[in-house]
Amino acid sequence: MALTLYHGEPNGPSLTALTVLFEKGVDADLRRIDLAAGERHDLPFARDMEVAMSIEGEGPVLVADGTPMTDASYIAIFLDELKPEPKLRPDSAIGHWEVLRWARAIAEVLAPAASTLGLRAYLAPKLSGRPQSEIDAIIAKVDSVDLADRWRAVARNDYPEAMVADSHRKLALFVERIEKALDGKDYLFGDFSTTDIEAYSWLAGMPLLSPAAFGDRPRTNAWMERVKARPSVQKALALATVDDPAQSWAPGPEHSRWG
């Protein structure tokens, strides 16, 4: 199967997709795009529904024999199903359920929180120096109305205090969940999995932005070091074209609107 991965700097969902590829030893043509400049919307399939309306927002796109796929947690599962060894998920129906349950928590709790804090700290100040016409040109390319709104929010640095506080709260909740899961284990399910990769990828830049969430969380902090030290993660991080890829963010998923 011919695979091409369009990815941003190795952080968040792009770091997940790259790391899973390297862990699995799957060959793919790697093409870096600047997600924070809206380059994803220049791709020929940018208006396909599965790309334009991806819940993840500005994440990587894996093209498999012409089908563009989005949402890094499902790209990870796809790669694990495509090439069964080395296994990156527990090998049972209940293990697969665990992976999906964590993926939901990552998508609803961790990802919007990390994305909000990352965008506010790094992309918003960067965009504030750019001419409005440049920002308008990016937004004009974005097909999804709600994703375009998230671009407008970052361009105006419009992150209400309540949203920031909610992001810190969600992050702390998620780290607490990791701390509990790691009781007596090196990785979340014992053996290393796509869930470790995905959680780490969103969390990599967070100790700096939400330090309180990581205070008194020895197992989580040791796990972060353990995941980061893996050759696959190191190989992905080496693709960075900036000093600290954990500071690279593009508009991600929204906070849930209801319930």
Partner 1 sequence: MKTTLYHWEPNANSGKPMLTLVEKGVDFESHYLDLLNFDQHKPEYLAINPMGTIPAMTHGDLVLTESSAIMEYVDEAFPGPKLMPDDPVDRWKVRWWMKFMDQWLAPSFSMIGWSVFVGPSVRQRDPKELEAAIDRIPLPERRVAWRKAIYNTFSEEEMKESVRRVTLGIQKLEETLSKHTYLVGDSYTLADINAFNLAYALPLSQPDLSNDEKTPHIMEWLRKVYERPATKKTWQMGKTDMAARVKILERGNG
Chain residues binding partner 1 by CB under 8 A are 49-50, 53-55, 64-65, 67, 69-71, 74-75, 77-78, 81-82, 93-94, 96-97, 100-101, 104, 107-108, 145-146, 253, 256-259
In angstroms, the CA 30 to CA 131 distance is 31
Residue with smaller CB distance to partner 1, 53 or 140: 53
Residue with smaller CB distance to partner 1, 205 or 252: 252
Residue with smaller CB distance to partner 1, 193 or 247: 193
Token duo for residue 169: 């709260």
Nearest approach in angstroms of CB 224 to partner 1 is 25
Nearest approach in angstroms of CB 100 to partner 1 is 4
Nearest approach in angstroms of CB 82 to partner 1 is 5
Amino acid found at 236: A
Residue with smaller CB distance to partner 1, 3 or 138: 3
Q: What are phi and psi of 4, to 5 degrees?
A: -125, 125
- Concatenated DSSP letters for 123-152? IHHHHHTS-HHHHHHHHHH---HHHHHHHH
Query: What stretches of 70-190 adopt beta strand conformation (E)?
Result: none
- Our measurement of the distance from residue 236's CA atom to the centroid of its chain's CA atoms, rounded to an integer in Å, reads 13
Residue with smaller CB distance to partner 1, 131 or 259: 259
Amino acid found at 66: G
Instruction: Show Cβ contacts of residue 204 under 8 Å, excluding neighbours closer than 6 positions.
Output: 11, 15, 224, 228, 246
Nearest approach in angstroms of CB 241 to partner 1 is 29
Residue with smaller CB distance to partner 1, 183 or 257: 257
Nearest approach in angstroms of CB 238 to partner 1 is 27
DSSP state of 28: -
Nearest approach in angstroms of CB 76 to partner 1 is 10
In angstroms, the CA 176 to CA 147 distance is 29
